[in-house]
Structure 1
Amino acid sequence: MPEVRFTIRWPDGAEESCYSPSTAIHRHLAAGETYPLAEFLDRARSGLNEASERVAAKYGFACSAAMDQLALIEQAAKNQPSDGHVTCLSLS
């Protein structure tokens, strides 16, 4: 299953490299797009959950790396202004 690395820029300007075990994330985030923080979190949750489900369908178990990445994103978001915006810089 092809993995995807995606880079985001948080509202405070920090950039973070993230991981998805599946290309499913492409249906939820687009390179060059900026999302309000709450929408970004919804999209990241949807995309990483879908990616984990695709792994489960293929291998019989959910992807803990996708859930770990989601937890990291959710934790980092707590330190950002709630009215901020997150930019998806790239998906590869």
Structure 2
Amino acid sequence: MPALHYRLRWPDASETLCYSPSLVIQDYLHAGEDYALDELLRRVREATAIANERVQAKFGFTCSRAGDQLVQTEAQVAAFAHRADARVRVLSFEPA
């Protein structure tokens, strides 16, 4: 199953390299676009759920790394929740 990294730029200009076990993340996030925190989180959660369904179907178990990445993304979103206008930019997609 092709895995993928995607780079996010947070409201404080910090960047993170995130992991997806499936290319489906590219259906939910687009390089060069900015997302409000709640929209980013909704999209990442949905893409992660689909990716985990694909991993489960192929290997018989879900991807713990994808789950860990989701927890990390949720924590980063929470750190900026006090900023009503906070947006996150998707910078790029890279092979894992």
TM-score bracket for this pair, using the shorter chain length: over 0.9
State the distance in 2 between where 1:12 and 1:50 align.
29
Letter in 2 for 1:71: V
- Please tell me whether residue 55 in structure 1 is matched to residue 55 in structure 2: yes
Post-superposition offset of 1:60: 0.8
Tell whether the 8 Å contact from 1:3 to 1:23 is kept in structure 2 after alignment.
yes
Q: Percent identity?
A: 46
Residue 24 of structure 2 aligns to a residue whose secondary structure is helix
Question: After TM superposition, what 4+ stretches of structure 1 lie above 6 angstroms from structure 2?
Answer: none
**Cα distance between partner residues in 1 of 2:30 and 2:21:** 16
Structure 1 position 40 matched with structure 2 position 30: no
Distance, in Å, in 2 between the alignment partners of 1:62 and 1:44 is 16
Question: In the alignment, which residue of structure 2 is the partner of 1:78?
Answer: 78
Contact kept in structure 2, 1:49 and 1:67, CA below 8 Å? no
Q: Deviation digits for residues 20-47 of structure 1, max 9, x if unmatched?
A: 0110111111111111111001011111
TM-score by length of 2: 0.91
- Equivalent pairs counted in the alignment come to 92
RMSD of aligned C-alpha atoms?
Answer: 0.9
Q: Which runs of 5+ in 2 are unaligned?
A: none
Using the size of structure 1 for normalisation, the TM-score is 0.95
Rate the CA distance shift 1:53–1:82 in 2: closer, same or farther, 3 A.
Answer: farther
Flag structure 1 segments of 5+ consecutive residues without an equivalent.
none
